[in-house]
């Protein structure tokens, strides 16, 4: 169920500034280029090794298992694109965009420019039904108002969305590819491009190269039938992994409206939840498990988020701001409970 928002916080405006001073004094906003160079190299090596295994296994049905490995490698590459989009790696835009374009468009077939535009809008107004594209009405609905507005198959889906949530994530990879293509070519009725993008031509070229290399590489190594199975397993599990990495962060948390008039600190903290766990969870979820700290300081290097956690948590306790942190399974339970509750008026 959605929790209640914090009403009438006693201190406004200066709360975030004070927290920011503490975080900056601890040196946690300083870039870590050396650490990221190692991370980029190791992730690229993992991704390359996964493709090497594809070649070694050859024309075999064992490629279905290799496709699962490739889904993990692809998601880890996508996490690098996420960090680059927030300029966690470099202060300058150029190197950040280069990593983002190579990781997103070329490696995994995801438009970096589309994702940055969408993700920035999410960060500006997290869990706001009218402003956050991640909780806008779509295949899933996040508010009872969205549920009541559904018709036909969408209404049937909304009634059962909690049960169908994880199976539907198997289509998320396909959705990301289609959305990327639409963002690059989609135009408004007046001819303007619908999605702002700095390097549209480069993005289109890299997506085309990705498609040719991906499809061509699979068909060179295995029969068309096995290639189709590989692609289905890879893309399905990649979408599932991506969805399972982002779903615990906001789903089932408060959904503020304009009437709530929250300051920046509260808007970011009460709409997010952290997922408990050690370094293994950090690696598996790309640091997104430390969602509160990430939303408060989006350009903080991933490796510093865990160090920022005790500072942020203590500060929230001082200010009486709810700081939610649960286990991974509980985070999914809360997200599914919210989806189930939203669909209740239709059942």
What residues pair up with 275 in beta bridges, in sequence order? 326
- For 249-302, the pLDDT digits (tens) are 999 999 998 888 899 999 999 999 999 999 999 999 999 999 999 999 999 999
pLDDT tops 90 at residue 129:
no
Q: What is the pLDDT of residue 91?
A: 87
- For 102-118, the pLDDT digits (tens) are 999 999 999 999 999 99
Q: What is the pLDDT of residue 11?
A: 46
Angle of helix 328-343 relative to helix 152-159, nearest 10 degrees? 130
Q: Do 95 and 114 contact (CB within 8 A), yes or no?
A: no
Q: What is the pLDDT of residue 258?
A: 82
HSE, CB side, 13 Å, CA atoms: give it for residue 338: 21
CA distances from 256 to 10, 250, 275, 323, 344 (A): 18, 12, 21, 16, 21
Q: Do 47 and 81 contact (CB within 8 A), yes or no?
A: no
**Which band of pLDDT confidence, cut at 50, 70 and 90, is reported for residue 6?**
very low
Q: What is the pLDDT of residue 181?
A: 96
Instruction: Give the contacts of 262 (CB within 8 A, at least 6 positions apart).
Output: 5, 6, 9, 256, 270
Q: CA–CA separation, 270 vs 265, rounded Å? A: 9
**DSSP type of residue 311:** H
Q: What residue spans of 8-62 are helical by DSSP H?
A: 14-25, 33-57
- For 48-77, the pLDDT digits (tens) are 999 999 999 999 999 999 999 999 999 999
In whole numbers, what is the pLDDT of the chain averaged over residues? Answer: 93
- For 27-52, the pLDDT digits (tens) are 999 998 899 999 999 999 999 999 99
Q: What is the pLDDT of residue 120?
A: 94
Q: Do 320 and 9 contact (CB within 8 A), yes or no?
A: yes
Q: What is the pLDDT of residue 45?
A: 98
Taken in order 271, 294, 243, 95, the sign of the CA dihedral is positive
Measured in whole angstroms, how far is the alpha carbon of residue 206 from the centre of its chain?
21
Q: CA–CA separation, 176 vs 181, rounded Å? A: 9
3-state helix/strand/coil string of 187-216: ECCCCCECCCCCCHHHHHHHHHHHHHHHHH
- For 77-90, the pLDDT digits (tens) are 999 999 999 999 99
pLDDT tops 50 at residue 9:
no
Q: For residues 200-217, give the mean pLDDT.
A: 97
- For 316-329, the pLDDT digits (tens) are 999 999 999 999 99
Q: CA–CA separation, 108 vs 81, rounded Å? A: 10
Phi, psi of 274 (to 5 degrees): -90, 155
What residues pair up with 274 in beta bridges, in sequence order? 325
């Amino acid at each position: 169920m959605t929790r209640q928002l914090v009403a009438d916080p006693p201190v406004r405006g200066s709360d975030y500034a004070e927290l920011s001073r503490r975080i900056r004094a601890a040196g946690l906003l300083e870039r870590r280029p050396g650490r990221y160079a190692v991370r980029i190299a190791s992730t690229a090596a993992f991704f390359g090794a996964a493709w090497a295994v594809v070649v070694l296994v050859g024309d075999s049905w064992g490629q279905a298992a290799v496709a699962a490995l490739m889904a993990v490698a692809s998601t880890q590459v996508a996490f690098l694109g996420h960090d680059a989009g927030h300029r966690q790696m470099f202060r300058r835009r150029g190197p950040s965009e280069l990593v983002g374009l190579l990781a997103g468009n070329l490696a995994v077939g995801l438009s970096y420019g589309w994702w940055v535009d969408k993700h920035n809008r999410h960060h500006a107004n997290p869990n706001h039904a009218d402003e956050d594209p991640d909780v806008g009405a779509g295949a899933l609905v996040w508010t009872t108002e969205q549920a009541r507005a559904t018709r036909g198959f969408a209404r049937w889906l909304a009634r059962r969305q909690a049960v169908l949530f994880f199976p539907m994530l198997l289509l998320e990879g396909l959705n990301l590819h289609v959305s990327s293509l639409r963002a690059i070519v989609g135009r408004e009725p007046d001819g303007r491009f619908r999605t702002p993008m700095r390097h549209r031509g480069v993005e289109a070229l890299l997506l085309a190269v990705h498609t040719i290399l991906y499809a061509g590489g699979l068909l060179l190594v295995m029969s068309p039938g096995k290639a189709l199975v590989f692609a289905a397993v890879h893309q399905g599990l990649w979408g599932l992994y991506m969805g399972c990495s982002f779903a615990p962060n906001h789903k089932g948390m408060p959904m503020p409206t304009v009437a709530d008039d929250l300051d920046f600190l509260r808007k970011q903290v009460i709409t997010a939840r952290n997922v408990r766990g050690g370094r293994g969870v950090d690696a598996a979820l790309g640091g997104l498990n430390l969602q509160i700290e990430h939303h408060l300081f989006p350009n903080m290097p991933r490796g510093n988020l865990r160090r920022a956690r005790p500072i942020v948590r203590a500060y929230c306790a001082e200010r009486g701001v709810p700081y939610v942190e649960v286990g991974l399974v509980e985070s999914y339970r809360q997200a599914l409970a919210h989806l189930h509750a939203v669909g209740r008026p239709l059942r």
